[in-house]
Structure 1
Amino acid sequence: MLEDLRRRLRGLAKLVDAKAKRKIVYTDFEDEFGEISEAEIKDMPTGTDEHRFRQKARAYLLRHEDQPTVHKLRHNEQITEDDLAGLEEIFLAEAVASPEDLDEVRAMGGLGLFVRALCGLDRQAAQQAFEGFIVGKQLSAAQLDFITLIIDVVAKRGVLDVGDLYEVGSPFHDRAPGGPDDLFSPEEIDGLKIVFIGLLTTAKPTMLAA
């Protein structure tokens, strides 16, 4: 701030009448502030601005769905450490995220899950994820309706947990107040868990083979 002021004053100095004589004024101020002490500023946000970061990240992802790592996450393809490292570099270079933003994302589960949650999953990829669960079963209309709802939510959220199927107030609760136990056997619920774990796994990096 002081440097900016100095530059501005230097530009005005040429306008001063050098021939005019002016009385020199001396000042002598006494410090009345006392000793310096730290002050706590209350009600000020700390850390990153999560809402701002999410908005910038979402905008970038919508414009770059064909970016290789984003495409993998959208289509339930396994990502690697190199994929995420490259995406992190892009986020930093494009001012989508700060290093602090990325640190918080890693603490919350990683950039892969963060991106998947923001951009969701391709609908066809979501359907393919559940093909192994559906094939060979004679599902009732209610069961098929429930699975279709799961696919809809997975396409929107990117990932899902079995616990979400029991959540009161969720669309799942409307179709099965007692949770998936109302419609599926314990073995079938275990099968759903396997699908959900698979969706989670593809959004977390694996090391490339040497």
Structure 2
Amino acid sequence: MRSGTDVERYTAKVRDYLRRQPHNLALQKVRSGKSLTPADLESLEELLARSGAGNPEYMERAIANAQGLGRFIRSLVGLDQQAVQEVFAEFLGERTATASQIDFVNLVISHLTRHGEMDPKLLFEAPFTDTAPQGPTQLFAPEQTRRLVGVIRSISDSAGAATA
């Protein structure tokens, strides 16, 4: 599958290029988990075009596979750990958290920092089930579990463009 390899090579080149652009404001918003505006997305498109990483077809395919430009970029650069910790500090601060709850949330933070987004279904798979074999419902009350999923979704969704 040559085209798959080419897209992977393109993705690696773009990832390397983006890591060398720490002052780009739109890229900073992606890493901090802030919502993107249409202007931010334009800036990111220009950044990709300037990367010289390869064929525009690879870029289009990679963006389609990631379900959008913001999500593609975030999958490459991840999220700033401090920004994610701040969001979850509010969640954990609502009630006194147990050590197991904190460990579980730290796993979520680690996943989001590395991957930039998360499908809440993963909460019921390893490594999360190593801490709570039945998933978050074993550690959190139903309302807390819903809030946890809501926080994860809001962080993941922030890589998409704002509609206004």
Partners in 2 of 1:96 and 1:164 — Cα distance? 32
Which of structures 1 and 2 has the bigger CA Rg? Answer: 1
1:176 to 132, 135, 151: 132
In structure 1, the residue matched to 2:160 is: 204
In structure 2, the residue matched to 1:16 is: none
1:114 to 72, 91, 95: 72
Q: TM-score, normalised by structure 1?
A: 0.71
Partners in 2 of 1:48 and 1:99 — Cα distance? 15
Which piece of structure 1 moves more, 183-192 or 105-114?
105-114
- Give the structure with the larger helix fraction: 2
Deviation at 1:119, TM superposition (A): 1.1
Partners in 1 of 2:105 and 2:44 — Cα distance? 33
In structure 1, the residue matched to 2:124 is: 166
Matching of residues 138-157 of structure 1 within 5 Å: 138-157=96-115
Q: Which runs of 5+ in 1 are unaligned?
A: 1-43
Select the structure with the greater relative contact order (CA < 8 A; seq sep ≥ 6).
2
> How many aligned positions are there?
163
Identity %: 36
Q: TM-score, normalised by structure 2?
A: 0.89
Q: Deviations over 1:107-145 (max 9, x none)?
A: 221111111111111111011121331122121111111
Residue 74 of structure 1 aligns with an amino acid whose one-letter code is R
Deviation at 1:48, TM superposition (A): 7.4
Give yes or no for contact 1:73–1:121 (8 Å, CA) kept in 2: yes
Deviation at 1:96, TM superposition (A): 2.4
Q: Which runs of 5+ in 2 are unaligned?
A: none
Residue 61 of structure 2 aligns with an amino acid whose one-letter code is E
Give the secondary-structure state (helix, strand or coil) at the position aligned to 1:130: helix
Give yes or no for contact 2:79–2:113 (8 Å, CA) kept in 1: yes
2:23 to 66, 79, 93: 66
1:123 and 2:81 correspond: yes
1:96 and 2:53 correspond: yes
Give the secondary-structure state (helix, strand or coil) at the position aligned to 1:49: helix
Could you list the structure 1 runs, at least 4 aligned residues long, displaced by more than 4 angstroms after superposition: none
